[in-house]
Amino acid sequence: MVFFTSDTHFNDPRILRIDRRPFGSLTEHDEALITRWNETISPEDEIWHLGDFARLGKSSVEALLARLKGCKNLIVGNNDAFETTAAHGWNSVQPYRELMQEDQLIVLCHYPFRTWNRMGKKSINLHGHSHGKLKPLTRQYDVGVDSWGFRPVSLHTLLGKRRG
């Protein structure tokens, strides 16, 4: 199965203050997000992280990636330093990607778009960056953890379909 997430901001103390996430400490925040990720994702699942993964050195990012289940792909966000993008543990790292899933073209970027490829042909745009605070356009979804109970989300859930 394929999942999407964004804006985990592991080890970033600003996130508790700026977004008022409901955790008592940064350690509690990070451990809760790791637990929810691993409850949702299986080792065989593919996950696309749409940016702002962590504020850690390369070895710490690699240790964190090793704790997280799934085949992990990164769409680079504005807070993803070289230490994050260069870490071993990513299946792929890029600024933008288009995927076909279940006959659906999905346009992935950290940033939300006003318009995107094949928008008029019912493609969808998945993004992060706005932390659930941006009014979406039709067929546009914020996959950030702030919008989905601090866990990754499947395409079925995004589109309101039942899991089968």
pLDDT tens for the 164 residues of the chain, in order: 999 999 999 999 999 988 889 999 999 999 999 999 999 999 999 999 999 999 999 999 999 999 999 999 999 999 999 999 999 999 999 999 999 998 899 999 999 999 999 999 999 999 999 998 898 889 999 999 999 999 999 999 998 853 33
How far apart (Å, rounded) are the C-alpha atoms in residues 18 and 146? 12
- Residue 122: C-alpha distances to residues 107, 125, 149 (Å): 11, 10, 27
116 located within any domain: yes
Count other C-beta atoms under 10 Å from residue 50's C-beta.
26
- What CATH number corresponds to the domain at position 119? 3.60.21.10
- Domain encompassing residue 14: 2-158
Q: Is residue 164 part of a domain?
A: no
Sign of the CA dihedral with 119 first, then 121, 122, and 124 last: negative
pTM: 0.95
In a domain, 53, yes or no: yes
| Domain assignment of residue 163, yes or no | no
Structurally, the chain folds into a number of domains equal to 1
CB atoms within 10 A of CB 129: 20
Give which of 40, 104, 45 is closest to 70, Cα–Cα. 45
Query: How far does CA 10 lie from the centroid of its chain?
Result: 12
> In angstroms, what CA-CA distances link 26 with 14, 55, 78, 119, 129?
9, 12, 20, 38, 20
Q: Is residue 81 part of a domain?
A: yes
